[in-house]
Amino acid sequence: MATFKRPIAVNEEIILDPERALMSKTNPRGVIEYANDYFMTISGYEEQELIGQPHNVIRHPDMPKVIFKWLWRRLQEKKNMHAIIKNLAKDGRYYWVITDFEVKLNDMNEVASIVARRRTPPRMTIASIKDLYKKLLAIEQAQSVEVSERYLIGFLEEQGMTYDEYIEDICFMKETVPAIEEKDEKPRGLFAKLFS
Ligand SMILES: Cc1cc2nc3c(=O)[nH]c(=O)nc-3n(C[C@H](O)[C@H](O)[C@H](O)COP(=O)(O)O)c2cc1C
């Protein structure tokens, strides 16, 4: 007997399981070498479709370029980074993640690989970042990524925060995330609370 399948509306959000992480690992140029089961379930790709592909296979057109420009600059400096990203699933739906990018170095202190662990962000975090991304994208479409970068720098200056402080601020707004005791903190800082 045929089973009824609800038609998927493009632009529909996939709500993630807060208990599960989507993990992928790439080479230094961002070519996917590994993805966990939950990543494949959510993105809608089979393992053989993903491995060997550049990571922009899941890039959503709503994401401003400047965020990836800052990501790659950071990774090339062998530094870790966190970013809130809207990703595109194979069927056209989307999902928001807070991503922890971790650079793995080899014995010669070169980037050997990059690991990305993603979790669902608090809803208020998404609401905050959406407006900023919308503005950055509009500036990029009307002008250039250089102009959107200057806007982002100005925005952060107005907040009186660095990029990292801003991300931390919107991810740990007091009313959305219960306080966690200092003693629970792991060496990689506040984000250990999300990624532990
Ligand atoms: C480990 C790793 C994970 C990444 N994960 C994502 C991701 O989840 N979504 C995304 O759009 N880009 C991700 N990227 C960035 C992509 O490589 C790429 O820079 C981005 O999609 C923008 O595409 P473009 O450079 O072709 O404009 C990741 C990069 C690395 C190194």
Tens-binned pLDDT, residue by residue, of the chain (196 aa): 556 666 666 789 999 999 999 999 999 999 999 999 999 999 999 999 999 999 999 999 999 999 999 999 999 999 999 999 999 999 999 999 999 999 999 999 999 999 999 999 999 999 999 999 999 999 999 999 999 999 999 999 999 999 999 999 999 875 444 444 444 444 455 556 666 5
Residue 11's pLDDT is what? 85
Pair 64, 137: CB distance under 8 Å? yes
To test the pocket of ligand 1, the residue of 36, 38, 55 to mutate (highest count of ligand atoms within 8 Å of its CB) is: 55
**Model pTM?**
0.88
Question: In the prediction, which pLDDT does 66 show?
Answer: 98
Q: How far apart are the first and last CA of the chain?
A: 44
Domains observed in the chain: 22-179 (3.30.450.20)
The angle, 0 to 180 degrees and rounded to 10, between the axes of the packed helices 163-171 and 145-159 is 70
119, β-bridge pairs: 98
CB of residue 83 inside a 6 A radius of ligand 1: no
- Give the per-residue pLDDT at 189: 55
- Is residue 16 lining ligand 1, measured as CB closer than 6 Å? no
Of 139, 52, 61, 68, nearest to 94 by C-alpha is 61
Q: What is the pLDDT of residue 100?
A: 97
Closest atom of ligand 1 to 26 CA is 1
